[in-house]
Amino acid sequence: MSVLLQVRKTAQPAPATVSEPRRRPSRRAILLLSAAAIWILGFLVLNGTATLALPASELTDLHRSLNQFNAWVAANRADNPLFLYVFTPLRSAVDAVASLFTTTFAATATGLRLPEIGWLGTVGLLTWIALAVGNVRVALLTAAVFVFFGIQGLFVEATYTFALVLTAVLLTLLVGIPLGILAGIYGRVARVITPVLDFMQTLPTFVYLAPLALVFLIGPASAVIATVIYAAPPVIRLTAHGIRRIPDNTREASDSLGTTGLQRLLTLQLPMARRTIVMGINQGTMAALSMVTIAALIAAPGLGQTVVRALQSLDVGTAVNAGLSIVLLAIVLDRVTTAASRRAEPGSARRRRLSRRTRTVLLGISFAVVLVMVQLSRTVLWAAAFPADLNLGPQIVQAVNSASHWLQSNLSLFTVSLREGVTGAVLNPFQSLLTDTPFYVLVTVIAIVAYALGGWKLATLATACLGVIIYLGLWSDSMVTLAGTLVATAVVMVLGIVFGVAMGRSSRVDQFLRPLLDAGQTMPSFVYLVPFLGLFGATRFTAIVAGIIYAAPVAIKITADGISGISPTVVESAVASGSTPWQVITKVQLPMARQSLALAANQGLIYVLAMVVVGALVGAGGLGYDVVAGFVQSSIFGKGLAAGLAIVFLGIMMDRMTQAAAAAPARRIPSKSTT
Amino acid sequence: MMKAERLIKRTLPAMAGAAAAALLLAGCGGASVNQTAAAAGATGTPCGTVNVAMNAWVGYTADAAVYSYVAKNKLGCSIVQKDLNEQVSWQGLASGEVDLIIENWGHADLTKQYITDQKVAVDAGPTGNEGHIGWYVPPWMAEKYPDITDGQNLNKYASLFTTSESGGKGQVLDGDPAFVTNDEALVKNLNLDYKVVFAGSEAALIQSFRTAQQNKTPLLGYFYEPQWFLSEVPLKKVNLPAWTEGCDANPEKVACDYPTYKLNKIISKKLDDSGSPAAKLAKGFTWTNEDQNSVATDIQGGMTPEAAAKKWVDAHQSVVDKWLS
């Protein structure tokens, strides 16, 4: 999703239009006010009618027919040509690749279940690869982190996860780079592929786990396929972007030398797009890690399984321990691929201290050492399985557990009253404002708002999305999800403004916060559930808090960039004319960063929405619950599928509306800021 | 051209390294510590690897722990435990990811799909445990409001059970959405003024009941036995209209209590056909609700499942011998 952001950011702030002469309250304000009035009136007068509520146990005919998919797959698995010649061979092929890597790094199916390369060899080999594609610093980081996995007692789980990520990333590149090249060269391909990618990125991960598991059966193969689907969009997008970004005159210069299409691709376009492509690999890897952990639900081995089991038994210690491993793995993957992209930067060779020859020699020597380590790890037990004496996992788990018990017993008064207070005072009233208002009133209200933001086209789109949701039979659940998402996004925006302004105004705060935010963004969504489950128990509130924490970093960063992007002259002239800092913020900086704020709201919404589904694992209701329940109960499989689609349409609607708000020309500068 | 060349130069060592590593692997295939140690470890009939699905309740963990302990230590099997939801585990029987579900609760539809139709799984007989699912209240409530255990009176007490999650109605607290449940349908079809709220897991459910009993706060929730927790807090069952044959055939129209489940074991056809002693052990495995509760209590008390299993097996050697013979 952060790719979406990067691509969008390039199309960013159009300079504020020249201030117009004073005018009546804008048409937009009138429209928005009247929409609010209709909503409140509709809620008060028609409360509880036409709410389209569907009890959780009930299905619509559409859901029942989607359920048939389940039976159809079961009936056709053995003899349908689609299965015989496409799905089953695909599954076996992916399975073969996955088991190649898992047996190499994690565990074999025979004997002592030791991997082909024991822990010492794995650490050596991976460190060497980090050195070869990156630099000494990331190599040391890799070695330290993989040894730490052993100390945590999670070496096998971590290498399982790593092996699956590796498989998924390789397959993603195999699919993604050619598609990206095509989309970069041919505009027509890009136009066809972009909406598909949009759709894939809004689709919550849970939704395609269920049908994929049905078709490809559970196990590492379907986990890898699901991961490829999730990780491919950023790779495709960035590859295409890198190729399209090459200046026309460079291309023309090469054309005038008479290069053919293939020559141009190999000698000009790919080398010049290399850095962007490697950035795509970075994004794809992070996405893959986040999906591989969630794929634990369909029997993907690794750290995800440990987290799932811990969430189910409320074992905060184990969950934190495994969560920490995931975070560390994320950091290693991120740093190594980032270092590789730096290395891929044109001209980086000149800045290096070592000559190419020395480097090659050094790499050669260290590789010989690695070979010895690999051989050792295959023949000596202490180098094959991580020594049990060094396993501090149980101690870590116990320490975290006692800390969490202490927190729970000492903070429970605070956390429970906070949870009950927020749920009772904000969440429930707002949710009933959405669920108890007749659907036609809300559709009208949303259409008016969409019209005010983006004209007829957007109004039509919003109405169509809501129409689909009604057709899917999940209006009421969608409104529950919408309520949670909007509440969380509002908090995200408050955090975004507070911290974003602080960062935008002071480079010291920025330097302190930015690495924290970067780290926050690389973490898989799953991990966020763990600490809040311990503090707040399984409720909607917990899911919302997790969503806020998940979405806040991106909103803060965009806001900070918006604030620091304002011309210093403007700020200085405001200070010179005697404005207090508060006045500078509210009258100058925030209004001028309005488009960044809207963009932050856009990204915040999408992130929160993605989290709301995962949050269903800890008690978020609405569509997320339908998706999760459909995944685990075959009788409501169809409803879960429908709920997944409903989330996509809800997401598309909110995305387009906030994008329109971001793109709309700013009003006169001195007027009050809007969010 | 220069750049492409440099790219190749840089990636070449990496490629060569990977290739060398692969060659090395192939070359030394025979001498691995993994295989030699394995050959020494195996005695008697080869057992191979058994994939055990791990569903998320402690009773299940107890069964699986004892099975795994015996299979590993008496038969020399490799046991792989996979944390999976109930219904997802059944899919694993078809894909080969799962060989054994050691405590199955009913699931007539899945039995038909995987055992009768697809023939990828085999019923390995009862575990000896009898399962009951129902709605329960903490004991202090049954004392204070004696008529609450009659399902007819639930609406009278609905206001007691309201929470911030239940939207003004009484709350029925359910466990994991993956558990066998008709509660949503029951609330609707029995016209109860309640809303089903999911605690998310067995652990959360137990914690809620424990707090409710300690603080004397009202709670109505989904629960089941065999369950070790019932010996800590003897929850009282609320009687819903009694189960009759076929009253729960249509999941949307259910208006009766849960049946008594004869819990059974399911093994994959593959394991059954392999003639592995692990299949025989799976078929032989039976014990009582007390046995399961004692192992589960130990696990809950902080013992590792393996240690708890060892303790039970050491104390019940004769039972285990009967499974194996």
* pLDDT tens track for A511-551: 888 878 877 776 666 677 767 776 777 788 888 888 898 88
**pLDDT tier for residue B36 given thresholds of 50, 70 and 90:** very low
Distance, CA of A383 to CA of A123 (rounded, Å): 10
Question: Could you tell me whether strands B170-174 and B220-225 are parallel, antiparallel, or unpaired per DSSP bridges?
Answer: parallel
Contact yes or no for B13 and A374 at CB 8 A = no
Q: Where are the alpha helices (DSSP H) in A217-315?
A: 220-244, 248-256, 261-264, 270-272, 274-294, 303-312
Phi, psi for residue A14 in degrees, rounded to 5: -70, 140
Contact yes or no for B17 and A57 at CB 8 A = no
Count other Cβ atoms within 10 Å, centred on residue B284: 18
**pLDDT tier for residue B3 given thresholds of 50, 70 and 90:** very low
**pLDDT tier for residue A161 given thresholds of 50, 70 and 90:** very high
Percentages helix, strand, coil for chain A (3-state, rounded to 5) are 80, 0, 20
In the predicted model, is pLDDT for residue A637 greater than 60?
yes
Q: What is the pLDDT of residues A247-264, one digit of tens each?
A: 888 888 888 888 888 888
Rg for chain B (alpha carbons), in Å? 25
Q: What is the pLDDT of residues A305-348, one digit of tens each?
A: 888 888 777 788 888 889 889 889 988 998 898 888 888 776 66
Distance, CA of B181 to CA of B197 (rounded, Å): 12
Tokens 């909103």: give the residue: A555
Q: What is the mean pLDDT of residues A177-198?
A: 89
Mean pLDDT of chain B: 84
Query: Are residues A554 and A2 in contact, defined by beta-carbon separation less than 8 angstroms?
Result: yes
pLDDT score for A464 = 95
**pLDDT tier for residue A171 given thresholds of 50, 70 and 90:** very high
Closest CB to B87 among A118, A617, A634:
A634
**pLDDT tier for residue B281 given thresholds of 50, 70 and 90:** very high
Phi, psi for residue B28 in degrees, rounded to 5: -100, 20
Per CB-CB distance under 8 Å, the chain B contacts of A311 are 200-201
Distance, CA of B245 to CA of B15 (rounded, Å): 66
Helix B289-300 to helix B305-315 angle, to the nearest 10 degrees? Answer: 140
Contact yes or no for A110 and B94 at CB 8 A = no
Distance, CA of A107 to CA of B80 (rounded, Å): 11
Q: What is the mean pLDDT of residues A635-644?
A: 86
Q: Where is mean pLDDT largest: A274-278, A377-381, A490-494?
A: A490-494
pLDDT score for A352 = 66
Buried b or exposed e, range A398-433, using 16+ CB within 10 angstroms: eebbeebeebbeeeeeebeeebeebbeebbbebbbb
Structure tokens at A527: 């991990």
Distance, CA of B18 to CA of A117 (rounded, Å): 13
Closest CB to B177 among A219, A305, A629:
A629
Q: Where are the alpha helices (DSSP H) in B178-218?
A: 183-189, 202-215
Tell how far CA B18 is from the center of its chain.
Answer: 41
Distance, CA of A90 to CA of A87 (rounded, Å): 5
Q: What is the pLDDT of residues B68-94, one digit of tens each?
A: 999 999 888 888 888 888 888 998 888
In the predicted model, is pLDDT for residue B2 greater than 60?
no
Maximum Cα interatomic distance, chain B, rounded to a whole number of Å: 88
pLDDT score for A494 = 93
Distance, CA of A161 to CA of A164 (rounded, Å): 5
The backbone region for A142, taken as left when phi is positive above 0, alpha when psi lies in -120 to 50, beta otherwise, is alpha
Of A246-255, A349-358, A632-641, B98-107, the one with minimum mean pLDDT is: A349-358
Distance, CA of A43 to CA of A39 (rounded, Å): 6
pLDDT score for B9 = 52
Tokens 């991106």: give the residue: A554
Contact yes or no for B188 and A58 at CB 8 A = yes
Query: Nearest C-alpha of chain A: how many angstroms from B152?
Result: 21
In the predicted model, is pLDDT for residue A509 greater than 50?
yes
Query: Nearest C-alpha of chain B: how many angstroms from A655?
Result: 28
State the Cα angle at A495 between A492 and A501, rounded to 5°.
130
pLDDT score for B41 = 43
Sign of CA dihedral A315, A321, A324, A329: negative
In the predicted model, is pLDDT for residue B199 greater than 60?
yes
Distance, CA of B175 to CA of B188 (rounded, Å): 19
Contact yes or no for A59 and B200 at CB 8 A = no
In the predicted model, is pLDDT for residue A24 greater than 70?
no
In the predicted model, is pLDDT for residue A237 greater than 50?
yes
Rg for chain A (alpha carbons), in Å? 26
Query: Nearest C-alpha of chain B: how many angstroms from A581?
Result: 41
Maximum Cα interatomic distance, chain A, rounded to a whole number of Å: 83
In the predicted model, is pLDDT for residue B1 greater than 50?
no
Q: How far is CA A348 from CA A273, A339, A437, B6, in A?
A: 15, 11, 60, 12
Q: Where are the alpha helices (DSSP H) in A106-186?
A: 119-133, 136-151, 155-185
pLDDT score for A347 = 67
Q: What is the pLDDT of residues A441-474, one digit of tens each?
A: 899 999 999 998 888 999 999 999 999 999 998 8
Percentages helix, strand, coil for chain B (3-state, rounded to 5) are 50, 20, 30
Residues in Cβ contact with B79 at an 8 Å cutoff, skipping those fewer than 6 apart: B49, B50, B52, B68, B71, B72
Nearest to A223 by CA among A280, A159, A326, A304: A304
Count other Cβ atoms within 10 Å, centred on residue A122: 27
Q: Can you tell me whether residue A301 is helix, strand or coil?
A: coil
Query: Are residues A556 and A512 in contact, defined by beta-carbon separation less than 8 angstroms?
Result: no
Nearest to B122 by CA among B274, B320, B7, B226: B274
CA dihedral A172, A173, A179, A185 (to 10 degrees): 150
pLDDT score for B63 = 94
Contact yes or no for B164 and A424 at CB 8 A = yes
Distance, CA of A660 to CA of A454 (rounded, Å): 6
Query: Are residues A327 and A335 in contact, defined by beta-carbon separation less than 8 angstroms?
Result: no
Compare B128 and A211 and report the one with higher pLDDT: B128
Q: Which of B86, B195, B201, B222 to mutate to test the interface with A (most CBs of A within 10 A)?
A: B201
Q: Which of A305, A312, A315 to mutate to test the interface with B (most CBs of B within 10 A)?
A: A312
Query: Are residues A212 and A153 in contact, defined by beta-carbon separation less than 8 angstroms?
Result: no
Number of helices followed by number of strands (H, E) in chain B: 14, 9
Per CB-CB distance under 8 Å, the chain A contacts of B31 are 378-379
Query: Are residues B209 and B223 in contact, defined by beta-carbon separation less than 8 angstroms?
Result: yes
Say if the ipTM goes beyond 0.95.
Answer: no
| Amino acid found at A148 | F
Question: Could you tell me whether strands B170-174 and B194-198 are parallel, antiparallel, or unpaired per DSSP bridges?
Answer: parallel
The backbone region for B153, taken as left when phi is positive above 0, alpha when psi lies in -120 to 50, beta otherwise, is alpha
Residues in Cβ contact with B71 at an 8 Å cutoff, skipping those fewer than 6 apart: B47, B50, B77, B79, B278, B281
**pLDDT tier for residue A572 given thresholds of 50, 70 and 90:** confident
pLDDT score for B11 = 55
Contact yes or no for A371 and B54 at CB 8 A = no
Structure tokens at A94: 């992916």
Per cent of chain B over pLDDT 70 is 86
Per cent of chain A over pLDDT 90 is 20
Q: How far is CA A371 from CA A136, A368, A382, A456, B46, in A?
A: 19, 5, 17, 66, 34
End-to-end CA distance of chain A: 22
Closest CB to A298 among B28, B31, B88:
B88
Per CB-CB distance under 8 Å, the chain B contacts of A436 are none
Q: Which residues share a beta bridge with B222?
A: B135
Distance, CA of A118 to CA of A386 (rounded, Å): 8
**CA-nearest residue of chain A to B302?**
A398
Q: What is the pTM of this model?
A: 0.81
Q: What is the pLDDT of residues B217-271, one digit of tens each?
A: 899 999 998 888 888 899 999 999 988 888 888 888 888 999 999 999 999 999 9
Q: What is the mean pLDDT of residues A433-440?
A: 88
In the predicted model, is pLDDT for residue A567 greater than 70?
yes
Q: H/E/C letters for each residue in B8-24?
A: HHHHHHHHHHHHHHHHH
Mean pLDDT of chain A: 83
**pLDDT tier for residue A19 given thresholds of 50, 70 and 90:** very low
**CA-nearest residue of chain B to A300?**
B82
Query: Nearest C-alpha of chain A: how many angstroms from B162?
Result: 12
